[in-house]
Amino acid sequence: MSAPAPSDNPDFTKGDGLLPAIAQDAATGDVLMMAYMNEESYAETLRTGRAVYFSRSRNKLWRKGEESGNVQQVESVWLDCDRDTILLKVRQIGDAACHTGYRSCFFSRVTPEGLVEEGTKVFDPEKVYQKK
């Protein structure tokens, strides 16, 4: 995909240049994670077909899966009605989007008794993220 015309771009004037981006599994519909994109990461995502976010904690581009190998191949990109939220439908390589090893970052269900973890761990994070 090449970048569309500017008027069809997300409105990066909002949110100090960072917009929320939701990654959804294109096959199952599971919401996998939410992260942020700036204009550069959005353009690189469109250009490469792989999800690239902007890490607020590290203050730099975050090429999802560059360490774990669990990249997200982008099947389609959607904007919401205000053009200030991005939805990616992705194919999650490695079957897990979350650094904890869960398939989705949303594995904690709110119950009256507190959070309950649901779902299964796809990988052991200690084996995937080597200490350096």
Q: Looking up tokens 């994070």, which residue turns up?
A: 125
Q: Is position 29 an interface residue for its own copies (rule: CB under 8 A)?
A: yes
Task: Provide the mask over 55-94, with x wherever binding to its own copies is found by CB under 8 A and - wherever it is not.
Answer: ---------------------xxxxxxxx-x-x-------
Q: Is position 20 an interface residue for its own copies (rule: CB under 8 A)?
A: yes
C-alpha 7: how far from its chain's center?
24
Q: Is position 18 an interface residue for its own copies (rule: CB under 8 A)?
A: no
Give the one residue of 1, 40, 47, 124 binding its own copies; rule: CB under 8 A.
1
Nearest distance in Å: CB 60, its own copies: 18
